[in-house]
Amino acid sequence: MARRTRSASLENRTQRLKLTTRKKPYTALIAPGMFLAYRRNTGAGTWSVKCNGWLKRFALADDHEDANGVSVMTYWHALEHAKKLARAGEGSSEQPISVSEAVNAYETDLEARDGRKYNATQLRLHLTDALKGKAVALLTERELRDWRAGLVKKELKPSSADRIGRSLKAALALAARHDKRITNPAAWKNGLKKLPDSEVARNVILPDQMVAALVGGSYDEDRDFGLLIDVLAETGARESQVFRLTPADLQDHLTVPRLMMPTSRKGKNRKIEYRPLPISPRLAKALRQQATGRAAHAPLFDKMWNLAMLFSPVVERLELGNEVTPYALRHSSIVRQLLKGVPTRVVAAHHDTSVQMIEKNYSRCIIGDPSDALTRATLLDFGTSLPSAVVAPLVRLAS
The per-residue DSSP string of 139-177 comes to --HHHHHHHHHHHHHTT--HHHHHHHHHHHHHHHHHHHH
Q: How many domains does the chain have?
A: 3
Domain-located, residue 6: no
**3-state SS assignment for residue 185:** coil
- For residue 361, give the nearest of 350, 342, 347, 376 by alpha carbon: 347
Do 239 and 336 fall into the same domain?
yes
Decide if 178 contacts 105 (C-beta within 8 A).
yes
Do 195 and 212 fall into the same domain?
no
Domain-located, residue 324: yes
Decide if 39 contacts 94 (C-beta within 8 A).
no
The rounded distance, in Å, linking the Cα atoms of 241 and 239 is 5
Q: What is the CATH number of the domain that holds 141?
A: 1.10.150
Do 216 and 354 fall into the same domain?
yes
Domain-located, residue 325: yes
Do 212 and 180 fall into the same domain?
no
- For residue 198, give the nearest of 237, 238, 239, 157 by alpha carbon: 157
Task: Find the domain containing 260 and state its range.
Answer: 208-369
Domain end marker among 88, 109, 131: 88
Do 145 and 227 fall into the same domain?
no
Host H or E run for residue 276: strand 274-278
Tally of CB atoms within 10 A around 191: 20
The whole-number pLDDT of residue 4 equals: 67
Domain-located, residue 380: no
Decide if 135 contacts 85 (C-beta within 8 A).
yes
What is the separation of C-alpha 100 from the centre of its chain, rounded to a whole number of angstroms? 17
Domain end marker among 64, 88, 112: 88
Domain end marker among 164, 199, 234: 199
Do 176 and 65 fall into the same domain?
no
Do 212 and 230 fall into the same domain?
yes
The whole-number pLDDT of residue 334 equals: 94
Do 34 and 104 fall into the same domain?
no
Q: Which residues pair with 259 in a beta bridge?
A: 250, 277
Q: What is the CATH number of the domain that holds 288?
A: 1.10.443.10
Could you read off the pLDDT of 347-359 as tens digits, one per residue? 999 999 999 999 8
Sequential DSSP letters for 59-122:
EEETTSS---SSSEE-HHHHHHHHHHHHHHTTT-SSPPPBHHHHHHHHHHHHHHTT--THHHHH
Domain-located, residue 60: yes
Do 33 and 149 fall into the same domain?
no
Domain-located, residue 164: yes
Decide if 111 contacts 102 (C-beta within 8 A).
no
Do 28 and 84 fall into the same domain?
yes
The whole-number pLDDT of residue 266 equals: 66
The whole-number pLDDT of residue 267 equals: 54
Q: Which residues pair with 274 in a beta bridge?
A: 262
Do 249 and 342 fall into the same domain?
yes
List, run by run, the mean pLDDT of 10-residue segments along the chain (399 residues).
Answer: 72 89 89 87 89 80 88 89 70 70 90 79 90 86 92 85 92 89 88 72 82 95 95 94 94 86 71 89 94 93 86 93 90 92 92 91 67 64 58 56
The whole-number pLDDT of residue 389 equals: 54
Domain-located, residue 390: no
Domain-located, residue 295: yes
Do 106 and 220 fall into the same domain?
no
